[in-house]
Structure 1
């Protein structure tokens, strides 16, 4: 009889923990915070991409977006791009990603530009506007242009991509 009481007690305890965990998950659904959340109210500059396009015209409406600054000569940038373009990740960030390449020639990023939008920042003005201290730098941007989170370097950028995917299923 004592064995049954212990089993019932253990089962009850596990059930309570499961219920509390589920309540927490459902209560916070959609309100998941990013690890490197930007606390200030900062908005992305609406830079011009061409005569008819600007950044805000390309970002997904009612969704968060990824903005990645990179260079083809940077090994960490290439690691982030390879990860971003891997099959499992690419299908989840397609149409939600814009990249800004700081290379001085287009040929260096031609293959990447076939898969995701690439803007060339030859004079690095946009890089300066976003106050990027190094590359790669990845931002999560809201549909209205608010900078939500920032990842500096390869590892932080990949972690932020994973957070983005979890939050934007």
Structure 2
């Protein structure tokens, strides 16, 4: 019995150790009586699933939002304390209203880290002032200075020169080798994956981190995402997807066509809807040349599904479409952004997988029709 108690105590203490306990002392007199939002920076490819912000319940001016991904802080004259735990040190931003109250603005990125972090917001432009002894935030500043030249050549969520992506990955790897305890370097891989897509070397970069980082749930969750992305990336096999009764995508779905283009979209995605007429033109051009189109909408409420059907009818879409109500497409393909275009051959082999990039679709189709 004593042995069992010791094991339970070890498990409880290990679980507690894996969490980062934080307190943010926020001073923002320029936003008094307004509310500020503590939130993750923009992400894609399901990276948001790594985030978890568990708040203490002792401050009634702070409310958890977005499925415990962020916090809404009503700024008070005195106490603006945000306390709680996160799975590991993680990057966040502050968001608040513009001075003219027309829209929102955001701060530069900073890290929630263990212990007390005093943040001063100097003006209405959300200019952050961090303490000089903020260890992880200082590491982040050092890392970004080291990567500055490589970052300047890249454009987030756009097509980039492979050589520029390779250059950033090499510099990041070199930094990790010298700084294996660096959480900012770990999150830089996550950020690069989110903004620029999968790179095979990310999987070989992860083992370079310290045991402490590798034991965190953040690391394990991201590793799972990368492994899934690797298995369903170019060269992998498109998985069977079950959307519900009599609605499936299997290998036989592709067998009658030279290639199949799968378009993953949502009625909440304005670029998807705006570019749909061009997608229809592309289909009309290639439908008699052995090219099939399939659309998968990330919508599950009846109202959204009705809207999707209306949009397709207005644009005279005639190809097969599905609704990912079971979220099986999202889970099996790590589909965390729109539009996502996947090109598959007649055997179900993935030839291309791009987040965005509709402007290059015709070139991709032509390449694989040859």
For normalisation by structure 1, the TM-score amounts to: 0.63
Are 2:276 and 1:76 aligned?
no
Q: Distance in 2 between matches of 1:39 and 1:127?
A: 14
Q: SS of 2:337's equivalent?
A: coil
SS in structure 1 opposite 2:338? coil
> 1 or 2 for the larger relative contact order (CA 8 Å, sep ≥6)?
1
Matched residues in 2 for 1:139 and 1:93: separation?
A: 16
Alignment deviations for residues 93-152 of structure 1 (CA, whole Å, 9 cap, x no partner): 436011100112321211426522111002433122111231110000111111111121
CA contact (8 A) 2:234 2:353 kept: no
Q: 1:66: which partner in 2? A: 261
2:257/2:292 contact within 8 Å kept: no
Following superposition, which runs of at least 4 residues in structure 1 exceed 6 angstroms of deviation? none
Q: Which has the higher strand share?
A: 2
Q: In 2, Cα distance between the equivalents of 1:151 and 1:140?
A: 9
Match of 1:100 in 2: 296
The question of whether the paired residues in 1 share the 8 Å contact of 2:260 and 2:292 is answered with yes
Q: 1:35-50, aligned counterparts within 5 Å?
A: 41-49=235-243
> Do the aligned partners of 2:243 and 2:328 also contact (CA within 8 Å) in 1?
no
1:1-150 paired onto structure 2 within 5 Å: 41-49=235-243, 51-52=245-246, 54-56=248-250, 57-86=252-281, 89-94=282-287, 96-104=292-300, 105-111=304-310, 112=312, 115-150=318-353
Q: Distance in 2 between matches of 1:122 and 1:53?
A: 11
RMSD of aligned alpha carbons? 2.8
Q: TM-score, normalised by structure 2?
A: 0.31
1:49 Cα deviation (Å)?
4.4
| C-alpha separation in 1, matches of 2:233 and 2:297 | 26
CA distance in 1, matches of 2:297, 2:234: 26
Q: Is the 8 A contact 1:65 1:143 kept in 2?
A: yes
State the match for 1:10 in structure 2. Answer: none
Residues 140 and 149 in structure 1, CA contact (< 8 A), matched pair in contact too: yes
**Aligned-pair distance for 1:165?**
4.0
| 1:149-164 correspondence to structure 2 within 5 Å | 149-153=352-356, 156-164=357-365
3-state DSSP class of the match of 1:54?
strand
Structure 2 residue ranges without an equivalent (≥5): 1-161, 163-196, 198-231
Q: Measure how far apart 1:67 and its partner are.
A: 0.7
C-alpha separation in 2, matches of 1:165 and 1:101: 25
Relative distance call for 1:168 and 1:45 in structure 2 (3 A) is same
Q: How many matched pairs?
A: 130
Q: Secondary structure at the match of 1:132?
A: coil
Query: CA offset at residue 69 of structure 1?
Result: 0.4
